[in-house]
Amino acid sequence: MNDVSVLKFGGTSVKSISRIQHVAEIIANQAGRKCVVVVSAMGDTTDHLYKMAKQCSTHPDKRELDLLLSTGEQVSISLLTLALQSRGIRSKSFTGAQIGILTDNVHSSARIKDINAERIRKALNEFDVVVVAGFQGLSDDGEVTTLGRGGSDTTAVALAVACGAPVCDIYTDVDGVYTADPNSISDAKLLDTISYDEVLEMARNGAQVLHPRSIELAQNYGITVRVRNTFKPEHQGTAIKGEKEVELAHRASGVAVDGNQGCITISGVPAELSASRKITELLLKDGITIDTISQVLDEKSNYKNILISIKYADVDQVSKISEALKDLCAARSVKSETNISRVSLIGVGLANEPKITGDLVANLEDAGIRVTHLSTSEMRISCFVPEHQAARASQLLHRRFIGSETIQFPRQRKEETRKQLSRIG
């Protein structure tokens, strides 16, 4: 089924009947190719359903929640199919369960175990367009599951794998993947191509391009993912593919900014206290993501200091947590610092070049930007700076290391971003 087009349309692309008709037009223009089309729920339907569930139960059961939320996509597949049929296109809609998307039974964040390729093949024999509900599947015990964040993108890539389609088109409300957010970096440019690894590194460092799950799946199976604009269907967008296929002209290829970073410094903790596990549990219970925990022993006093860098959603929560940490660690004092952003320079092999790191810090400090600390990994150098200086920092790094070159990077996808926690600068 090499000649099958796999297309995915997100919530903003189908948020009204007129947009659904527009999507039907895009599909009608696929020039006679067989299509598998994945759609999300209309607009903010999922949020609306979730809100109602919370009004019925403070801690809604995830099995019931999945049955509830899955109706959102069921509505959009039916409506899109009706719009296609009214154009004379032979099409049929399928829920995740109906097309045979089998998942594990972890409600609200299920993972796809298998897709019934035979069922898709049969459907494509009978129909020209097969419309599939994104974000949902069926567990072994016959329950409706949802895939959690990035679910519909994952459904689309998984269907491309099952169909043997080499390309998966993800239609969204931006033109594709940029070197930086064009809203804050004026010379940010749209990329023609980018590698899986680079996009993944961007996504993990605050850029909510595509969810890492869908990119990892595409990478594992060598599916080219094209990010395209629903409202400019004539544009080719950005193709995400293997490194060999992407020309890597520069080491540094993008700048990402992740907001709402914080630091908690716990001072005067008894050296014999083994606190890491307790700290981790305490923070995770409150939904705070830990970036690093560093412990430094002061051998003279036999006390240690613990530095935790975190990602938080709520400033009050951080100060509350700090108090709890003080008790937990029998510490002398705890200091928390919020309103910090992590500005990351992304690129293959970057961290192996000590010169770049030094150059980077010097550049920022020369401009009066305080770098509170630094962390690196194979593909990135991240520096923590005060939030109000983050935009300026990302501009400086973009100009210094990327400039007006043609290699460009992802910008945040507005749709499906529930909390605008981070941006690509």
Query: Where does this chain bind a second copy (CB under 8 A)?
Result: 17, 20-21, 49, 52-53, 55-58, 60-61, 63-65, 67-68, 70-71, 74-75, 77-83, 85-86, 92-93, 95, 98, 142
Least spacing, CB of residue 79 vs a second copy, in Å? 5
Q: Closer CB to a second copy, residue 12 or residue 179?
A: 12
Least spacing, CB of residue 59 vs a second copy, in Å? 8
Q: Closer CB to a second copy, residue 14 or residue 308?
A: 14
Q: Closer CB to a second copy, residue 46 or residue 408?
A: 46
Beta-carbon contacts of 332 under 8 Å, excluding residues fewer than 6 positions away, are 267, 268, 269, 303
Least spacing, CB of residue 314 vs a second copy, in Å? 24
CA-CA-CA-CA dihedral for 148, 152, 153, 159, to nearest 10 = 120
Q: Closer CB to a second copy, residue 143 or residue 187?
A: 143
Other CB atoms closer than 10 Å to residue 56's CB: what's the count?
9
Q: Closer CB to a second copy, residue 89 or residue 282?
A: 89
Least spacing, CB of residue 40 vs a second copy, in Å? 15
C-alpha–C-alpha distance, residues 231 and 247, integer Å: 28
How far from each other are the two terminal CA atoms of the chain, in whole angstroms?
40
Q: Closer CB to a second copy, residue 39 or residue 209?
A: 39
C-alpha–C-alpha distance, residues 268 and 332, integer Å: 5
Structure token digits, residue 66: 């999945």
C-alpha–C-alpha distance, residues 133 and 91, integer Å: 14
Least spacing, CB of residue 93 vs a second copy, in Å? 6
Least spacing, CB of residue 317 vs a second copy, in Å? 24
Which of 75, 114, 106, 86 lies closest to 27 in space, CA to CA?
Answer: 86
Which of 7, 9, 371, 379 lies closest to 207 in space, CA to CA?
Answer: 379
Residue 257 backbone phi and psi in degrees, to 5: -120, 130
Least spacing, CB of residue 102 vs a second copy, in Å? 15
Q: Closer CB to a second copy, residue 71 or residue 406?
A: 71
Beta-carbon contacts of 186 under 8 Å, excluding residues fewer than 6 positions away, are none
Q: Closer CB to a second copy, residue 92 or residue 326?
A: 92
Residue 311 Rama label (left phi>0; alpha psi -120 to 50; beta)? beta
Least spacing, CB of residue 71 vs a second copy, in Å? 4
Q: Closer CB to a second copy, residue 65 or residue 383?
A: 65
Least spacing, CB of residue 64 vs a second copy, in Å? 5
Least spacing, CB of residue 83 vs a second copy, in Å? 4
Q: Closer CB to a second copy, residue 63 or residue 392?
A: 63
Least spacing, CB of residue 132 vs a second copy, in Å? 12
Name 37's bridge partners. 7, 131
- Cβ proximity of 132 and 99 under 8 Å: yes
Q: Closer CB to a second copy, residue 2 or residue 55?
A: 55
